[in-house]
Amino acid sequence: NAGVTQTPKFRILKIGQSMTLQCAQDMNHNYMYWYRQDPGMGLKLIYYSVGAGITDKGEVPNGYNVSRSTTEDFPLRLELAAPSQTSVYFCASSYRHSSLSTDTQYFGPGTRLTVL
């Protein structure tokens, strides 16, 4: 199993450009997440999905969009890139066993994005 994969590894965007960060998992996990990590600020949840066709906002969703058409893929879209979106983006997935559990999250290697 490859686990959680993310592409690209690095990207430089100009202000106003758009791009999609790709995330895929091959563990048949039902839950998937997008985080951004800024230096010294920990991990901030952008969006998450509890299954194909279902997404919900996290702590910092503004400026981003997501979709989940399949169990495996959870792309993150930046429509109008801004310097404030310079960050490292991590995708994660987990398998929710029951409504009473909190799951272990498996993270991808990250995408380092710079907006100039």
Chain residues in the site for another protein (CB under 8 A): 31, 33, 35, 40-45, 48, 50, 56, 58-59, 90, 92, 96, 99-102, 104-110
Give the distance from CA 34 to its chain's centroid.
2
Cβ proximity to another protein, 36 vs 81, nearer residue: 36
Closest approach of Cβ 4 to another protein, in Å? Answer: 9
Distance separating alpha carbons of residues 40 and 60, to the nearest angstrom:
16
53 phi-psi bin (left φ>0, alpha ψ -120 to 50, beta other):
left
Minimal distance, residue 36 CB to another protein, in Å: 11
**Whose Cβ is closer to another protein: residue 59's or residue 79's?**
59
- In the block, tokens 């960060």 appear at 21
Round to whole Å and give the CA distance between 79 and 53: 20
Of the pair 35, 74, the CB lying nearest another protein is at 35
